[in-house]
Amino acid sequence: MDFIHVQDAKMQKAKPARGKGFTAGSSCITNTVTNNREAKIHLDSGAFSTCAEKDYLEKISTNWKDKLMPIEGKKFSSSSQNMHPLGKFEAATIFPHPAGSIRLKVEFVVMNNCTSKHLILGNDYLKIYGIDINNHKDRYFTIGENKSPELTPEMKEEIIEIIFQYREAFASDNEPLGAIKGHEVEIILNLERPYPPLLERPAYPASPRARAELESNINELMKLGVLRNVGHNGEVEVKTPVIMTWHNDKQRMVGDLGALDT
């Protein structure tokens, strides 16, 4: 195999002494409330399926055998042996957090010959719920993409304090682009051909309905003096394509600033 370019990866932490690299590893075990009982769960991206050892499952459900769902035609194995599944046990698992707890509905494959002191959340449910395990500096994990919509009064006050501290970064009546110096917004308009693909598309809507509404808008704006009629040889500073938007059967003509033309 040929390599075009190889460079050494940058370490995020101090390099351990030679022969001690294994000491830098860590597992991702967290406390949860599963089936209304406190339980430890190992977030294991190397595990194909979410599973539970039968004796540990006894701690969170004494009647788990009565709630088992059948599992047939599926083989399981670890790195060292074949696993013997007894069935699937469904339970609600809550990950507690001060800013808002998260509840997951999980099916655990109950193993007869598994030796584990905790539940294992495998790669199946890590993918289903979008759980990412990060090793950048401090190890942590995130669940999904959304944050809790509920903010405590203390959290709201903290956000207001941060916004006030960095108020120069926000737009105001006097500073529509913010007041930070040295980071002003610069828009470069392309004056030379060939133009970007966005500028090559039709400048105005093509559908009959959109064109009719557009004509109505233009006539009204010309009567108000907002727009003026310029001949084909007339000079204008900036022209921009427009699009028609509808909301509750009402339309509005807006400029497509993403495709500025000059």
Residue 114 has pLDDT above 50, yes or no: yes
- pLDDT, tens only, 22-77: 777 777 888 899 999 999 998 888 888 898 988 889 888 988 889 889 887 778 87
Say how far apart CA 255 and CA 238 lie, in whole Å: 12
Q: Which of 87, 82, 37 is nearest to 58 (CA)?
A: 37
Unique residue bearing structure tokens 């120069």:
168
Do 103 and 176 share a structural domain?
no
pTM of the prediction? 0.49
In this prediction, residue 89 carries a pLDDT of 92
Say how far apart CA 100 and CA 31 lie, in whole Å: 15
Q: Which domain range does residue 31 map to? A: 25-143
Grouping H, G, I as helix, E, B as strand and the rest as coil, residue 251 is strand
Q: What angle do CA 197, 231, 229 make, to 5 degrees?
A: 95
3 falls within a domain: no
User: Which range is most confident: 11-15, 42-46, 179-183, 230-234?
Assistant: 42-46
Contact (Cβ atoms closer than 8 angstroms) between residue 81 and residue 156: no
In this prediction, residue 184 carries a pLDDT of 63
Do 59 and 123 share a structural domain?
yes
18 falls within a domain: no
Say how far apart CA 192 and CA 184 lie, in whole Å: 24
4 falls within a domain: no
Say how far apart CA 231 and CA 211 lie, in whole Å: 20
- pLDDT, tens only, 171-227: 777 777 677 776 666 667 666 777 666 666 665 556 777 777 777 877 887 787 766
- pLDDT, tens only, 94-112: 988 877 788 889 999 998 8
- The rounded radius of gyration (Å) of the Cα atoms in the chain is 30
Do 61 and 39 share a structural domain?
yes
Query: Which run of H or E residues covers position 34?
Result: strand 29-34
Q: Report the pLDDT averaged over residues 3-18.
A: 75
Say how far apart CA 106 and CA 120 lie, in whole Å: 11
Beta-bridged to residue 134, according to DSSP, are 140
